[in-house]
Structure formats: structure tokens, C-alpha cells
Structure 1
């Protein structure tokens, strides 16, 4: 599992890797330091419009690869390099966190084929929810898309982590917003009720939502900043779409927990230890800085974004951008580059536009040049072996989630909020 029981991230691959085997400090100028940073003027930087088009082509091919006779599709999350080139296996699982991002990225552009593909994934998420062995509204961390190809549910990551549920919920609320089709709102409400029933903690301060459940039903008693940020965004959207104030009240509980995790120097800690109350201070992850800002829109997290710029930006050859956490800042985490660029775009302080564009330019260079790339999709990291500080390594393999975050950042579309136009 990715990290300790204190904070397994939704992007975790370690548990599924085991299952698959069984079954078969410096700030870079232009991003962190200069308030007057300009977008890259490197003549070799790929054209942004073409880059976006190619990234969508990558997602199209992944979505279309694994679909059942009913038109439900689940794209594999990773391909190439470590996840494909081992001699005995090809790692194909589809992580619901990545699937949710792809859905939202498609709705951001909103072409007819985009909405069709977004619905194909959304319908697959409803299918695995409806056909779960427990059947109480949950989804699992990941599924085998070959199972969907055959019209069945094959679970590869059996944990029911709270953040995963919230991302599935945000994908479904976005689909309801885009299409008006009631089944998506119904599925989102089932997801939200699972979160509320199984993870709400109004006993141990700071109040909030715990980590979810393991396969055997064991509850994870820690609370995650990341998960509570997800819930704040998801429940706020649900309140808006359903008209039920209770979801806004519950979103406020999650947002208050996130606020309680902010430290004196502005950064936001990862969450709590196993007791649900004591703050877990190491490592300090990027998403606790960026997602707090994106999910709440609260200016207090401007300081957290600035902390990330000052402490988490890495340089790896021609690539510059944030790492996963302060445990290892030797390589660029392109997924994180996407949500940091988006946070900067939406914050809009002096120099933020230039910083965001510098991050996007570096992603585009990676799209074109990074090891194991295909010229279209975005790899997870600039080079292999980025240590998350949470118990596993990340690799330079093509990743649907990183590609979707790039597209959302390029469009200025916040997945934690519904579009206003």
C-alpha cells in the first residue's frame, strides 16, 4: 500500500502490484522564485494547442481499449516503462481516481465525443458500484479493465479509501452537470452516503472524515487532509446539485478539518496519526498544499501554495516542477505539476500566470521527450524512482491521471468545483 496506514494516497499502486504478481529545497527561477517570471520562450517548447490535442488523443486511445458490449469503458492507468517492460507481466489495472480525472477532463473540453467517452467511464463506475460484492454504495481503489471488456467486475485494489469515493463522486456530479442524466446524481448520492455512514468522525477532534475501510472491513481511523479536501469539494458540489443543505454542512466539517491541519508557517500537514487527533507532520506532501486551495478557494491556503513553491520544486535535467513530498525533491512529478499550475492560475497573484505557464511548458517537454513516452500522453515522473516518502516509488510511465491533470490545468478547469458557465 502506498504509504503507511496514516495516509495511503489514491494513486497507490503497491497493493495492486503485489496482487498482480500473485495473479500472474532549491527553487527554480521561473516557477518558484521570481514574481516576474515569464512564460517559457524556448523555441523548442511544443505548441500548447497541439499539445492539448495530442493529450486528448492519448486518453481517447486508452478509453477505447477496454469497453464492454454496453459501451462501458475503463482505461488502464499506467503503460510503458516499469509497468509494461517487465518480462513476466503487463500492469493494466484502472484506478478510479485516475478514471474520475479523465471524466472531468473530458467534460472540460466538452466535445460530443468527449462527453460520450466521459459517460462510458461514468457508466462503468456505476456498474462496479452496483455490482460490488458488498453492495453498499462503495467503489474500490482499482479494477481490471479486462474484466469490463468481458462484462464483469474484477477488483484489483480492494480497499475502499475515502478519497477514492469522493473522486468517483466528483466524476458523477460533473457528468450530471454536463448531461442532466439522473443516474449520475443518484450514484453520487450513494457514494456520499457511504462516506458519511462509514467515515464521519464527530467524536475525536479535530472533527472530520477518516480514511475508509480495508478489504476485511477494518476501519482506518486516521484522518487525511487530502481526503477531507476531496470531501469538501464533492459535498459542496452535491449540495449545489441536490439543493440539500445537509451536504453543505458536511462539506464545512471537512473544510474545518483541513484548516486545523495548517501550520504556523503556512504549509498544511498530511493529516492525523492513528488516534485521529495527533497531527502527522512528516512527510509534507504537495497535494495537501494545492488541493486545499483548489477544494476550498480559501485565501488562507495561498501561504501553502507559496510554501510548495519554496520547498517542493525539483529540477531534473530539462524538467522543472514539484515533487510528491519533501522527502525527495530530485525528480519532477508531472501530475503534481498539473495541479500546482492550476492552483496558481486560479489564485492569480502577481507572477502566478508566468509560474503556471513555466510548469505547463515543462510538462509539454516531458510529453515530447520523456523516457517511455509516446509523444501524446504524460508520464508520471520525469525519471524513474521518485520516492513519495509514503512507502513506494513512482516511475516514468504514461499515466492517464497525469495527462488529465495537465489538460485541466491547461483549460483552467477546477475538478473540485462545478463549471459556472
Structure 2
């Protein structure tokens, strides 16, 4: 195992769920910016403001599709193409994607945005409270049909550390924006689970391991992505609670990330099973961009430069980063979002032009990509992008890719609590 998994990948879940296939509504909220254009449809390629409004409309419809009578809502992560056929529809909701949607809604912050963000946040608290183990964890994915029926149906039972940190960051963001202590309590439960179950101060480089499998088996490798997530999440807990222990723990995770940086600037994926030996291949995009976003350390500017030199793909009219160096034949639009955000926040010479290229390509995909709907963002420019970690990505509409685009377009770093929005 490489230590690269941050969530139970949809393609892996497909294999597990195909035998008992899942099933398949929407109430789009139109922004004022888009409502004014009633003569001709807005073109997201030439009108960035309309593009953003359309992307939020996509998320609105996904959130509103699966809600129960108590106000819990959970959006399916993927739709169309590979994930939707005449005989089978893959509807699970991955908590990593849900966290991104919550944070993207707080980035715009309209009343309906915050209502929907809270509906997802309340659902994350619901599944946390009703987990069969009940120790503060959440799982990789859930079935929205179950949520609509008022029950918890786990589809991805693994408890991966990165997923936990993303749930924690979503709850921390809601606590910061709304002042509702329930979200902070939930975030603290997540943080304690990570600390109690994954902290490794015995095997250098010290940091946090991958989490647990369904049967309770601990994953002994350490992931750069996971530790970046934790560095961001625990820093937020330190800010929200005023307790320096969380800041100290964040520093441990950040030091692990620093230990993964190679001499040429790129950041390696993590360690092997022994928790110490550095795993040098594949080299994932997330390790480059999230290291920069989560820590704010300028040392990772070289990782961003390495990305621009080694991970960029051109697929017909689309340009963007791939998932890793293993396959650079297709653009990964989720990654294009966080690369654009990282470059925009760095703002070095040439970064503005690179951001414009990345966001323009995502907007083109919003309008023209296979399996698109003119609003949401598909995961990849074409089917079959090889991640390098044993799985494939597809050109299907994706809440996570759409949320990352919105975070890049609004300049909102999910690893940081926004200033002046408490």
C-alpha cells in the first residue's frame, strides 16, 4: 500500500456495490447574476460570473435531491457517463466531496448557500452520532437514499485519516461561519479520533498514519496528503478553541510533509508500510498543491513549479494537471481547481496567466465536456485517466470537481478559516 488513499475511490466502491446496484430530482436556485440573462443562455466560457452561478446551481440541485424531513441532505458525488447507465445508477456520497461542497457554499455565503451547507453539516453530525462504532469517526461514503429515508447506510466503510480531516474542516468552517457550537463539538470528536488512532510518534518521520479498515485493521503507512489535511484541520481547531495542543499537533503533521520533499522540489506521496521508508512513485498532484495550501510554506513553491513542468496534460481543447506522472494523457479538473487556487494564492510571476489557462479550460469543460450538463464540472476530460494507484477516473459530473472550481474562482483556501467571516 502506497499511503496515497485519501478517500475510498468511487471505482473501488463500484466493484463492491455492483452486485447490489443503487437507484436514482432537483430544485435549482438561480442567482441574480444569471437570472438577468433571460434572452439567451449565458456562455460560461466567455462569462466567468455566469459560470460560477451555473456551478452553484449544479450543487444546489445535487444537495436538494436527497433530503429527509429533518433537514438532512447528502448529495451524490458522481452522475452520468460511467456512473449512470440504463440499468445501474451509482449514487453514493463521498464525505470528502461533501466537505468541499460545504466549504464552497460558505465561500459565497448567500443565505441559501449557508442553509444548504448546514444541511450537509447536520448530516455529517447525524452519521457521526449514529455510527455503529460510535467513537467520533465517519466513513468514506454513504448512500443518499438512506439519508432521505432517515437512516444511515454506509457504502464505504473504511475510516481513512484524510477523509476524517476533511469532515473536520467542513465542521470547523461551519462553526467559524455560524457560531454554532454543535459543529465545533463534532470537529473536536473527529480530531480526537485522528489523534487517538493514527498518531505515530514512534517511527520517524513522525506524523499520522492512514486510518483503519472496516475490520479495525490499522493502516501503517503515512500519506503526505493526509498529513497536509491534518496540518490544516488541527490548525483550525487551535484557532477555534485557543488550545495550543492542536497547533502543536498540526506542526507534527506539517513536519512530516516537509520530510517528504525531494531535492528537486516535488513532494513524495508518503511512506511504505513500515511508516518510515519514503515511497517515491507515483508522484501525485495532491501532494504538491495541498502541501502549499495547507501549510502556506513558500518552500512548496518549487513543488508547484515541478507540477507545471511535469504533470500538465493536453487532451484536445483541454489543458490541466493530471493525477500523477503515470498518465498525463487527460486533464483532471478537480486537480485543475486546486492547482489554480494554489498558484493564485502564491501569485508569482506567470501564475496569473497559468490560473487563467486552468480556469478557462474548466469553463470550457463545463460547457462542452462529455457527459456534462452545462453547469457542473466533470472529473476528467475523457474516460479512463489512470491515477497510478490502481484505479481510473472518468468524465462524469462530480460535486468535488465543481466545488474545487468554485473555491479557485472565489480564492477561498479550504485549509484556512476565512478572516473576518466569523
Give the match for residue 15 of structure 1. Answer: 12
Give the match for residue 236 of structure 2. Answer: 237
Cα deviations by residue, 1:93-148 (Å, 9 ceiling, x for unpaired): 00000000000000000000000000000000000000000000000000000000
Give the match for residue 39 of structure 1. Answer: none
Kept in 1, the 8 Å contact 2:237–2:246? The answer is yes
Kept in 2, the 8 Å contact 1:11–1:97? The answer is no
Kept in 2, the 8 Å contact 1:367–1:374? The answer is yes
Kept in 2, the 8 Å contact 1:46–1:365? The answer is no
Aligned pairs (5 A) from 1:325-364: 325-364=324-363
Partners of 2:260 and 2:20 lie apart in 1 by 40
Give the match for residue 401 of structure 2. Answer: 402
Give the match for residue 31 of structure 1. Answer: none
Partners of 2:97 and 2:292 lie apart in 1 by 20
Kept in 1, the 8 Å contact 2:378–2:398? The answer is yes
**Residues 353 and 362 of structure 1: is their aligned pair in 2 closer, same or farther, counting only changes over 3 Å?**
same
Give the match for residue 39 of structure 2. Answer: none
Give the match for residue 33 of structure 1. Answer: none
Partners of 1:203 and 1:291 lie apart in 2 by 25
Aligned pairs (5 A) from 1:125-274: 125-274=124-273
> Which range moved further: 15-24 or 219-228?
15-24
Kept in 2, the 8 Å contact 1:77–1:94? The answer is yes
> Which range moved further: 4-13 or 393-402?
4-13
Kept in 2, the 8 Å contact 1:293–1:301? The answer is yes
Cα deviations by residue, 1:253-311 (Å, 9 ceiling, x for unpaired): 00000000000000000000000000000000000000000000000000000000000
**CA-CA distance at 1:5 after TM superposition:** 5.3
Partners of 1:339 and 1:73 lie apart in 2 by 25
Partners of 2:12 and 2:198 lie apart in 1 by 22
Partners of 1:368 and 1:233 lie apart in 2 by 33
TM-score, normalization by structure 2? 0.93
**CA-CA distance at 1:358 after TM superposition:** 1.0
Unaligned runs of at least 5 residues, structure 2: 22-42
Give the match for residue 102 of structure 1. Answer: 101
SS in structure 2 of the partner of residue 320 of structure 1: strand
Partners of 2:182 and 2:378 lie apart in 1 by 33
Partners of 1:114 and 1:416 lie apart in 2 by 19
Aligned pairs (5 A) from 1:368-407: 368-407=367-406
Cα deviations by residue, 1:330-381 (Å, 9 ceiling, x for unpaired): 0000000000000000001011111111100000000000000000000000
SS in structure 1 of the partner of residue 88 of structure 2: coil
Partners of 1:337 and 1:11 lie apart in 2 by 21
**CA-CA distance at 1:160 after TM superposition:** 0.1
Give the match for residue 306 of structure 1. Answer: 305
Partners of 2:335 and 2:317 lie apart in 1 by 17
**CA-CA distance at 1:6 after TM superposition:** 2.9
Partners of 1:412 and 1:10 lie apart in 2 by 24
Cα deviations by residue, 1:19-48 (Å, 9 ceiling, x for unpaired): 211213xxxxxxxxxxxxxxxxxx993310
**Residues 130 and 5 of structure 1: is their aligned pair in 2 closer, same or farther, counting only changes over 3 Å?**
farther
Partners of 1:268 and 1:159 lie apart in 2 by 26
Give the match for residue 54 of structure 1. Answer: 54
**CA-CA distance at 1:11 after TM superposition:** 5.8
Partners of 1:44 and 1:130 lie apart in 2 by 41
Partners of 1:14 and 1:47 lie apart in 2 by 34
Give the match for residue 68 of structure 1. Answer: 68
Unaligned runs of at least 5 residues, structure 1: 25-42
Kept in 1, the 8 Å contact 2:11–2:393? The answer is no
**Residues 197 and 360 of structure 1: is their aligned pair in 2 closer, same or farther, counting only changes over 3 Å?**
same
> Which range moved further: 12-21 or 67-76?
12-21
